[in-house]
């Protein structure tokens, strides 16, 4: 295992206290789907776009790539991959929330990508996909929402070809104390209010924030990747560690 980060974050992969059921999570995203993209750009000052690019830029370009994106939401990772990975031969996105997929499909139609990218409704912890059928599996800001982190990572490992790569983007907490204090102030006191105001669902943004503060990150998340069976696992903190990009390989 190699890690760019020595941080050890979070306590449990099970997420915040009083976590909703799997269906409850899908319903929560159904409710916030209409304003999801707008709020992502607004609340992250558009850093979310740059973070997804960093993830996509880790996809190999020297060979054909069949890509699976879990918890794909409104398909931003797949759209970014389509633009930046010339060797992409297939792209499938899976999400539990029907409404997130509706907005994703609208975007794909608008961009003329509905023939190139396929979106399916499904559960990341129980995929109806063949073993060893993808070169790369990604998940952006979704792993902390799936309720059973090792099960979702296990499914990523199963559907990857030997030598295939998993790329995971997730929120984390800044290591520097001062940056962390400033960030947590914004994150706890401004972000849920703004999210609630624009989406009309204050509870959703309060829950989503709590999950960030309780979810494992850095070396703690690397340990989970190792335990699931990935090799050459690494973590790259992005923007002072507000997000982290993890990578792991399926052994040959």
Which residues sit at the interface with ligand SAM, rule CB under 6 A?
Answer: 22, 25-26, 29, 71-73, 76-77, 94-97, 100, 123-125, 140-142, 145-146
Closest by CA to 138, choosing from 209, 205, 84, is 84
Rounded-to-integer distance, Cα 43 and Cα 38, Å: 9
Residues 6+ apart with CB under 8 A from 34: 99, 103, 199
Shortest distance in whole angstroms from residue 121 CB to ligand SAM: 8
- Decide whether 5 or 40 has the Cβ nearer to ligand SAM: 40
Shortest distance in whole angstroms from residue 204 CB to ligand SAM: 10
Contact between 116 and 91 (Cβ < 8 Å): yes
The residue with its CB nearest to ligand SAM is 73
- Decide whether 95 or 135 has the Cβ nearer to ligand SAM: 95
| Angle (deg, nearest 10), helices 219-228 and 149-159 | 50
Shortest distance in whole angstroms from residue 212 CB to ligand SAM: 10
- Decide whether 203 or 231 has the Cβ nearer to ligand SAM: 203
Shortest distance in whole angstroms from residue 178 CB to ligand SAM: 27
User: What is the bridge-based pairing of β-strands 88-95 and 65-70?
Assistant: parallel
Strand partners, 160: 134
- Decide whether 31 or 188 has the Cβ nearer to ligand SAM: 31
Shortest distance in whole angstroms from residue 235 CB to ligand SAM: 18
- Decide whether 32 or 64 has the Cβ nearer to ligand SAM: 32
- CA 52 vs CA 35, 171, 252: distances in Å: 19, 12, 27
- Decide whether 29 or 187 has the Cβ nearer to ligand SAM: 29
Shortest distance in whole angstroms from residue 8 CB to ligand SAM: 24
* Residue 133: strand, helix, or coil: coil
Closest by CA to 207, choosing from 17, 78, 26, is 17
């Amino acid at each position: 295992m190699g890690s760019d980060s020595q941080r050890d974050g979070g306590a449990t992969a099970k997420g915040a206290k009083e976590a909703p059921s799997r269906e409850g999570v899908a319903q929560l995203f159904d409710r916030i789907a209409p304003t999801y993209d707008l709020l992502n750009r607004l609340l992250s000052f558009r850093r979310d776009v740059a973070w997804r690019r960093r993830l996509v830029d880790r996809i190999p370009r020297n060979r054909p790539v069949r890509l699976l994106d879990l918890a794909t939401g409104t398909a931003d990772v797949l759209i970014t991959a389509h633009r930046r990975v010339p060797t992409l031969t297939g792209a499938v996105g899976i999400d539990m929330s029907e409404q997130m997929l509706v907005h994703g499909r609208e975007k794909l139609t608008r961009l003329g990508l509905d023939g190139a990218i396929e979106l399916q409704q499904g559960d990341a912890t129980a995929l109806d996909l063949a073993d060893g059928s993808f070169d790369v599996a990604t998940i952006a800001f979704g792993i902390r929402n799936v309720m059973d982190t090792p099960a979702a990572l296990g499914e990523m490992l199963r559907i990857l070809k030997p030598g295939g790569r998993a790329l995971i983007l997730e929120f984390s907490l800044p290591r520097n104390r001062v940056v962390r204090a400033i960030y947590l102030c914004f994150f706890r006191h401004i972000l849920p209010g703004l999210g609630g105001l624009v989406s009309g669902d204050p509870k959703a943004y309060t829950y989503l924030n709590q999950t960030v503060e309780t979810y494992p990150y850095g070396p703690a998340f690397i340990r989970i990747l190792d335990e699931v069976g990935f090799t050459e696992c690494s973590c790259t903190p992005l923007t002072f560690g507000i997000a982290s990009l993890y990578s792991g390989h399926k052994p040959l």
